[in-house]
Amino acid sequence: MSYVAITAFGMTFVITLGGLDLSVGGTAAIVGVSLALILGMGVPLVLAIILCLIIAMILGSINGVIVVKGKIEPFLVTLATMNIYRGVALVFTGGRPVPIVSEIFVQIFGNGLLFNVIPAPILIMAVFFGST
């Protein structure tokens, strides 16, 4: 569940600054589905992660542009885009789970251990926390 901690930690900054983003779950759904589909096409892991980060930045930028240019409250914009993004993810998957077929991804992010003790997701979470 380190991905939940990383997302919650990032949202702490948004909330601390007086903002609100309800679309985080929808964005995570699209990015997760995108990663699974991109890796399924045989794209190398590093490139797939970079592409997914770009997708996440685009989705976040859409929210920002609508809020700033449209002068609409962030609560309403992110509530709407949350549902839109979740809907897009459902359309792409047909409502079914999309497995990640990349063995290296599963080895690094799913089963990897540092010093045969610390799970890789916990290490990644610690790096994110330490970098802020």
The domain ranges of the chain are: 2-99
Specify whether the CB–CB gap between 45 and 39 falls below 8 A: yes
Specify whether the CB–CB gap between 21 and 46 falls below 8 A: no
Q: 118 pairs with which residues across the strands?
A: 114
Burial of 127 per CB tally in 10 Å (0-12, 13-18, 19+):
exposed
Torsion sign (Cα): 93, 98, 101, 106: positive
Nearest to 7 by CA among 108, 23, 52: 23
The HSE-up count of residue 19 (CA atoms within 13 Å, CB side) is: 17
Residues 23-65: tens digit of each pLDDT? 999 999 999 999 999 999 999 999 999 999 999 999 999 999 9
**What pTM value is reported for the model?**
0.82
Specify whether the CB–CB gap between 77 and 68 falls below 8 A: no
High-pLDDT (> 90) share of the chain, % = 54
